[in-house]
Structure formats: structure tokens, C-alpha cells
Amino acid sequence: MELSPLCGIVFNMNITVYCGANTGIRPAYIDEAKALGKWMAGKDHTLVYGGGRIGLMGVLADEILAGGGKVVGVIPTFLATAEKMHSMATEMIEVATMSERKNKMLEMGDCFVALPGGTGTLEEIAEAISLMLLGRHDKPCILLNADGFYEPLKHMMDTMVKEGFLSQHARDEILFAGSAEELARMIEEKERA
């Protein structure tokens, strides 16, 4: 990550994005993935993701590559065929296990974003959030709540606060963005802080 000496704005950020190998049933999921990709490419941010060319993974990577951006995939060797590894990625890192994949993506990221996805997406962003709340990193963790996808999770986290399992301060650190535009604004505001 490189800071501008004049205005403190971050350039060349690695944004780790967790997303699925499916696109889901709502057009908003694809639209927001494309909007995020356009913003990332336009700001010269590098995508760090699961390395696939299908589903929202492929939509996001394709949009960034089409905009001249950089895409770094991290994929376990045993998934390289099943997830149809993206052959046009700027860089592809093959690892042996899912744990190595998660660790590498955590290590490389300057912030962590979850698009709508399945259990793997939820597991990955939950680990990033847990490590943040444990003080292992201070990088933003943002869930892109496209078309209200993460509303049940927001409600669950509010219930955790109400029931005494999560502090309000910790809950406030877990960010939800209603759109890629709002997500971009959150990242820029966090980096200026």
C-alpha cells in the first residue's frame, strides 16, 4: 500500500473480496459486482480473490480486467478445475488447502469485502471479522448488502449485542454497504481516518 505524500489518499490497495462461484438469482448481485469492479479498476486497486472465472468471482474479475486492473487469484490446486481457474488473472497463486487459501488472502488484503455468496463466503468474512475484533488486524471488513442479501445477518449481529454476546463497539466495526458506491465511500473514508 502506497500513501500519497500530499493528501493521504491510498493508492494500489489490495482489496480481498470473498464471493461465490454462483451468481445468485437476483440481477442486483451481478450489477453490484460489476460496479465494484469498475470502481476498483478505476482507482488502481488490486483484487485478491478465490481465483475462479465463474459466478460472482468471474463477474468481478472480468470487470476489473476489462478496466485494465489487476487480479490476483488464490486457489487450492484441487479446486483449480472445479472452480474453473481464471486464465486471464494477472497472477494466480496455487496453494494446497482451503486454510492456506484463507490465510494467504488475509495476509495480502488491505481490507476485506464480502459480496453475496454461500457458506464459504460467510466463513471467510466471518474469520476476517473475528480477527479484526480480536485485534489481529485493523483493516475494514465490509459486507456488500446488495438487494438486502445480508439483512438477516445484520439482524443476527444486533441480536448478539442485545443478548450480550457482542459489544456495541464491536458491532459498529462490522460494516454493511447497500451498494458498491457506498462500499467505495466507506473504504475511502476509513483510509483517510
- Residue by residue, pLDDT tens for the chain (193 residues) are 333 333 444 468 999 999 988 999 999 999 999 999 999 999 999 999 999 989 999 999 999 999 999 999 999 988 877 658 888 999 999 999 999 999 999 999 999 999 999 999 999 999 999 999 999 999 999 999 999 999 999 999 999 999 999 999 999 999 999 999 999 999 988 777 6
Using alpha carbons only, what angle is made at residue 26 by residues 53 and 57, rounded to the nearest 5 degrees? 15
List the CATH code of the domain at 17-192. 3.40.50.450
The domain segmentation of the chain, as residue ranges, is 17-192
pTM score of the predicted model: 0.91
The confidence score (pLDDT) of residue 3 equals 35
Residue 83: the pLDDT is: 58
The closest alpha carbon to 111, from 2, 42, 17, 7, belongs to 17
pLDDT at position 5 is 37
Dihedral sign computed on CA atoms, order 105, 26, 85, 119: positive
Specify the pLDDT at position 191. Answer: 74
Tell how far CA 15 is from the center of its chain: 6
- The predicted pLDDT at position 8 comes to 46
| pLDDT value for 183 | 95
Task: Compute CA distances 122 → 39, 40, 127, 128, whole Å.
Answer: 23, 22, 9, 10
- The answer to whether 72 and 47 have CB atoms below 8 angstroms apart is yes
